[in-house]
Amino acid sequence: MKALYNYLKEVAFAFVSLANGLLLTLKYFVTPWKSIITENYPDNRANPSVADEFAGEVILIHDENNEHKCTACTLCQLACPNNSIQIISKQVETEDGKKKKVLDKWVYHLEMCTFCKQCIDACPQDAIKMTNSYELSCFDRSTLTKILNQPGSKLKEKPKVTAKVQE
């Protein structure tokens, strides 16, 4: 008798437990407007749900006068674990005859970058940042090697006042 009771109890438990799961999936099935969580990706390009903080491609910040803050100190290049940064600098002569190292090319190898933020962390001038771009694939590998400083851009001069104080 006991065995029969246990047997029936087990069968009843089996049905109840299975029905429980079925109810959950049915709930999702009949309320798709609430339950569906996937995004219609290529359609929602206009307002993607990517956080501003998302660490994508590295860019060199340029202001409205086409000036950047990079002093070509190569600290980011040293910090990068993947050698995806190459700082090419050149010597120029300033008005007062001094030789000065300025940035010539800020070469960024996107194909080798792992978005680890080490370069951002290393930069003493806060000259670079990461954008939240995520559509980085392309058909031609060579387009992934980028020169980040815009043509004609130059180093942002430090405000004169602070320069005097430093002197």
Partner 1 sequence: MISMIQFSDVLAWIHQLLSSCMAPWLVFLIELVVASVAAVVALLVCVIIMVYMERKVAGHMQLRHGPNRVGWHGVCQLFADIIKLLLKECFTPTRADKLLFVVAPVLSLCVSLLALAPISWGPGLVLWNTNIGVLFVTAISSMGVIGILMAGWSSNNKYALMGAMRSGAQIVSYELSAGLSIVAIVALAGTLNTGGIIESQANGWWILKGHLPAFFAFIIYIIASTAECNRAPFDLAEAESELTAGYHTEYSGMQFGIFYLNEYINMGVVSMVASTLFLGGWQPFYLPFDFGWAHAFNDIMALKFMETWPAWISWVSLAWPLVWFFGKLFLIIFFMMWFRWTFPRLRIDQLLKLEWKYLLPLSIVNLVIIALIVVLGLHF
Partner 2 sequence: MENPIVTPSELKTEEFVVNIGPQHPATHGVLRVEATLDGEIIKDVLPHLGYIHRGIEKMTESLGYKQSIFLTSRMDYLSAHINNHVCALAIEKAAQIEVPARAKAIRIIMDELQRLTSHELWWGSCAMDIGAVTPFFLAFRDRERILELFEQNTGNRLTMSYIIPGGVMNDVRPDFVPKLKALIKSIKEYRKEYDQLITGNFIFQHRTQGIGILSKEQAISLGCTGPTARASGLSCDIRKLYPYDGYEKLDFKEVIDYGCDNWARYVVRMEEMNQSIHIIEQLLDNLPTGDYRTKLKGVLKLPAGEYYQRVESARGELGVYIVSDGGAKPYRMKFRTPCYSNLGAVKPISVGMKIADLMANMATIDLVIPDMDR
Of 61, 116, 147, 155, the residue at the interface with ligand SF4 (CB under 6 A) is 116
Of 9, 27, 101, 117, the residue at the interface with ligand SF4 (CB under 6 A) is 117
- Sole residue written with tokens 């006991």: 2
List the Cα angle 141/48/85 in 5-degree steps.
Answer: 35
Asked if 61 contacts 149 with a C-beta cutoff of 8 angstroms, the reply is: no
Report which of 73, 163, 64, 88 is spatially closest to residue 122, judged by C-alpha positions: 73
Q: What is the smallest separation between the CB atom of 87 and ligand SF4, expressed in angstroms?
A: 5
Helix H or strand E segment including 105:
strand 99-109
Asked if 130 contacts 53 with a C-beta cutoff of 8 angstroms, the reply is: no
Total residues at interface with partner 1 (CB under 8 A): 14
Tokens of 48: 């993607």
- Contact between 127 and ligand SF4 by CB under 6 A: the answer reads yes
Give the per-residue contact string, 2-21, with partner 1 (x = CB under 8 A; - = no): ----------------x--x
- Contact between 148 and ligand SF4 by CB under 6 A: the answer reads no
Of 61, 62, 74, 104, the residue at the interface with ligand SF4 (CB under 6 A) is 74
108/97 Cα distance (integer angstroms): 32
Residue 32 contact, options ligand SF4, partner 1, partner 2, none, Cβ 5-8 Å cut-off depending on partner type: partner 1
**Residues within the interface to ligand SF4 (CB under 6 A):** 58, 70-76, 79-80, 82, 84-85, 87, 113-119, 122-123, 125, 127-128
